[in-house]
Amino acid sequence: MKVTDREFALELDANDPLGKYRSEFFIGDANVCYLDGNSLGRLPHKTIKVINDYLINDWGSKVVEGWNDWIEEPFTTGDLIGSATLGAAPGQVLATDTTSINFYQLAGAALAARPGRKTIIIDEANFPTDRYILQGYAKERGLNLITINNEDPAISTHERITPEILEKYLSDDVAFVSFEVIQYRSGARNDVKAITDMARKYGALTIWDCSHAVGALDLQFDRDGIDLAVGCTYKFGSSGPGSPAWMYVAKRVQSELQVPIQGWHAQENQFEMGSTFKKASGLAGFQIATPSIIALRSVQTSFGIIEEAGIRNIEEKCAKGTQMMIDLYDAWLAPLGFTLNTPRNAKERGGHVSLVHPDAKRIAFALRAFADVIPDYRAPNSVRLAISPLQNSYVEIWDGFQRLRDLVSTRQYEKVENTNSKVT
Ligand SMILES: Cc1ncc(COP(=O)(O)O)c(C=O)c1O
């Protein structure tokens, strides 16, 4: 059977050990091909019940007395994220705040842990919030911020950072380096262990942004000796728009790190309300403030589903689904003027592919307007399409690609009038 036969996708679905999970998610319109789970995952039915139960049985019934039951939830939720997706033993993952805030916190802590070092390193293709935060630190503290130009094909393929690329910029002046596990635009996967080891050779820490990897890939932070990482829970994690993010701080560096915001939840003996700050030991010393328990319940529900399904199975389906996308691209989309900006080697990519086209923005908008396909668009010229293994069937992806082919081959996408939208 050829990949261009719809039966090919139906056969994959028939043999998919994760197929049963699709019915656990709220699907408003079954005709829609939702290929944007790398941006916002779908709502698990169970979350509706869990949040309702929380409102009535916790907040409603217990009011302030509930805090004795709730106060540990950033830690227990973090442990669940760690065991389900990060290969992290308990006591190292904190579910809290946003990815941006956690990144600011860990970058500040890493700088303080390497006094005298004045250089920090990031890449041009990294997510804007990470680059902007480091630009802020560089300006405020007079640091040397090196931004590796991995958008230049002479330097990197598909924006990937390799130890060889990185080593040219390393010295004993580097406090830390920071990269994404999965490049948000191209979908390329970096080798977290090899890069962390390379930075460590020069005495530098590494902060990983795992936003596009967590819940899609079998990460093994403890095994790979990762220092620090951050990520969200609303993409492949399906915990809802703006759901709490997380930070990973390896046990071996917890005592030497102090985050810049010394909030009252990080205080030893918090409720003694002492006059000066004394950092609590362990991960408690990284929590700033009062957690949103309602939001944490949503994270617990969706990461519970991920744990049950098994992150290895999920990674395997990401590889198969993206392979089908690449094969359909070769058959249908390359002749229509698309180019693939995602590695062909499954070990070098995650759950999404990036298709470059000079008219990518109009195409992405037209897919929504005319074809019931939800992708996203990333400037300047990429359409991103994802498989979210617990929610997507293979045939949903196949249908989405067929509609994309037809929209472009008939030039129907040129009829889209409005490409103005706050969010792309
Ligand atoms: C790779 C990456 N890092 C950071 C962020 C920022 O996340 P937040 O707005 O939740 O802080 C995002 C958001 O999409 C992202 O994709």
Q: What is the pLDDT of residues 224-260, one digit of tens each?
A: 999 999 999 999 999 999 999 999 999 999 999 999 9
pLDDT score at 335: 98
Angle between helices 73-81 and 293-309 (to 10 degrees): 20
* Domains recognised in the chain with CATH numbers: 6-43+310-415 (3.90.1150.10), 71-308 (3.40.640.10)
- The arithmetic mean of pLDDT across residues 6-31, rounded, is 98
pLDDT one-digit tens code per residue, 308-339: 999 999 999 999 999 999 999 999 999 999 99
Alpha-carbon distance of 227 to 250, in angstroms, equals 5
Q: Where are the alpha helices (DSSP H) in 142-250?
A: 163-167, 192-201, 221-224
pLDDT at 423 over 80: no
Q: Up-side HSE of residue 308: CA atoms within 13 Å toward CB?
A: 11
Alpha carbon of 424 to ligand 1 centroid (Å)? 14
Find out whether the beta carbon of 184 lies less than 6 Å from any atom of ligand 1.
Answer: yes
Alpha-carbon distance of 185 to 15, in angstroms, equals 31
pLDDT at 418 over 90: no
Residue type, 208: W
Record the pTM: 0.97
* Ligand 1 atom showing the smallest separation from residue 235 Cα: 14
- The arithmetic mean of pLDDT across residues 342-355, rounded, is 98
Q: What angle do CA 88, 90, 92 make, to 5 degrees?
A: 70
Alpha carbon of 99 to ligand 1 centroid (Å)? 6
Alpha-carbon distance of 397 to 12, in angstroms, equals 11
Is 85 in contact with 219 (CB distance < 8 Å)? Answer: yes
